[in-house]
Amino acid sequence: MISAWFSKAATPLIKIGIVFAICAALLLGAALVGLMAADRLTAIIVDRVAAAVAVTDAKWKLEIADANVKLALAQAAQANDAMRLNSELMAAREKTRLAQEDLEKANAALPGGDTGGLDAGRVRLLNQR
């Protein structure tokens, strides 16, 4: 009789336990599905961020390459200008040296070159310069 009474009294508790077990299993399953969804979402976000970083890196590498090309062209133009100016300077120096030699030859050709003074012929030579 006690077992029948115990069986009768325990039946609602067993039913409630089974309901709680089913609810717990459903909640655990929902939590597991939510965790898997969050993991996949995290993987998608990480992939998108990596793709965005790759695009940004490629853009900046292109910008840097363009800037380097412009810099190289500017340096080459500057080097060409420097070489042109150097050749012009050398030509001007040579022209000045030749003019100085001509002046010295003309001065030596004047009479009385050993007196060391300025006469009218030497003044005319200096004025022609």
Q: State residue 121's pLDDT score.
A: 74
Q: State residue 10's pLDDT score.
A: 65
Averaged pLDDT, 73-99: 97
- State yes or no: pLDDT of 117 exceeds 70: no
Using a cut of 0.85, tell me whether the model's pTM lies above it.
no
Question: What tens digit of pLDDT does each residue of 7-45 get?
Answer: 666 677 788 888 899 999 999 999 999 999 999 999 999
Q: State residue 127's pLDDT score.
A: 75
> What is the average pLDDT score of the chain?
88
- State yes or no: pLDDT of 101 exceeds 70: yes
Residues 103, 121 contacting (CB under 8 angstroms): no
- State yes or no: pLDDT of 77 exceeds 70: yes
Q: Where do the structural domains in the chain lie, given as residue ranges?
A: 15-107
Contacts within 8 Å (CB) and 24+ apart, 98-103: 99/129, 103/129
Q: State residue 129's pLDDT score.
A: 67
Cα–Cα separations (whole angstroms), residue 77 to 17, 80, 89: 88, 5, 18
